[in-house]
Amino acid sequence: MDVLDALGDPAWFADGWPATPYHRVGTAADLRSTLTWAALDTILNDQGLQAPAFRMAKNHQLVPIEKLTRSERHTSQAIQGLADPVRIGDELMDGATLVLQGLQRFWPPLADTCRRLAAEIGHPVFVNAYLTPREERGFDAHRDPYHAWLTQVAGSKSWRLWAPQHDPATDPADLEMVLAEGDVLWIPRGWWHTGSSGAEPSLHLTFTVWATKLDAILRALLAEVLRDPGLSRELPPDVFRDGVRTEATITEGMTEIADMIAKLDPATLAARVVEARLEQFDPLPAQSVWSMIGGDRPSLFHAHPEGVLHVDGALLRTADRLLALKPGQEAPCRAVLGRKGSFTLTELDADQELLDLLIGARLICAEPCPGR
């Protein structure tokens, strides 16, 4: 199943972002396996977690980070801000909420999930985990500058939501619901929300989408128009002494700049926007070290179709590669990237040059594949 199918009907996102929250029951049950209780133990004890990759809150206030960390002194390069799982456990038993931030950076199951979701939705995605002890509320009502899907992994959590124009301090909640395991809650940008756990500890994931905004086009436009030599024209002496003359000069300048903008090539602006957008995506995982330097070519491979973030004819863009397909390679490329599960190169109806190109871009990676 595609990730977006688990989080919401893809048709709801075809023409824009849903403007009101929605609750889906049980559709994200499969995502619970991406972060288990055993995985939490591994992350806290064995991953060398460092601040600010985690934080804790109690009574709507952040716990000072020095209460949660320790220093490592027995290596040549001492590491500061290491998560201290014992101290974190003490705070959890005292009712504090633990937040693991940007799990897609270091937990492979969620790295893979975020890459696939980002490819499906067309915008970068990151994921946080929230662990709240029973019958606690870590954060008071707040709103975020981005859209998010909440998926309940374990336990349950009650949520209250207010529309952006309402005040949680004085207005009744617009929506109230309880998320059970496998449920999904979509919270649009700007909606106030607060949650509290039930009789059991609550663990949920928040998949946050960094939607590209209209200002991305404005930044690209400014970058291009600033290259116009006409902008170096100097304004007349004493132009700012007289209000009428100042306004007339500004109006004239605005007209000139508008003419410069009108002459810009939309294709050039589009390329700038795409380039800036791709920088927001994490690259595909590197090939295994053994496959790169071990000497033996691996026999089994996996496809990463989610790595293709932009297509322009025969040009494919990943987060860090530009691939130019030759005539006749487009159909075989689609077929290779559409393969499910493991395969050998001899099974593929594609020339070696195309395969080498896809392997170099990590759109095909060797088994065992990072993040799978």
Structure confidence by residue, pLDDT tens digits, 243-302: 999 999 999 999 999 999 999 999 999 999 999 999 999 999 888 777 777 766 778 899
Helix, strand counts (H, E) of the chain? 10, 18
Q: What's the CA gap between 300 and 250, in Å, rounded?
A: 65
Of 182, 40, 206, give the one whose Cα is nearest residue 107.
40
The whole-model pTM stands at 0.89
Cα dihedral 276, 144, 111, 131, rounded to 10, equals 160
Of 230, 326, 305, 315, give the one whose Cα is nearest residue 271.
315
Structure token pair of residue 200: 């059991």
Distances from the Cα of 28 to the Cα of 123, 175, 302, angstroms:
20, 21, 24
pLDDT tens-place string over residues 56-112: 999 889 999 999 998 876 666 667 889 999 999 999 999 999 999 999 999 999 999
Domains and CATH numbers, the chain: 3-209 (2.60.120.650), 215-275 (no CATH), 289-366 (no CATH)
Structure token pair of residue 12: 């709801």
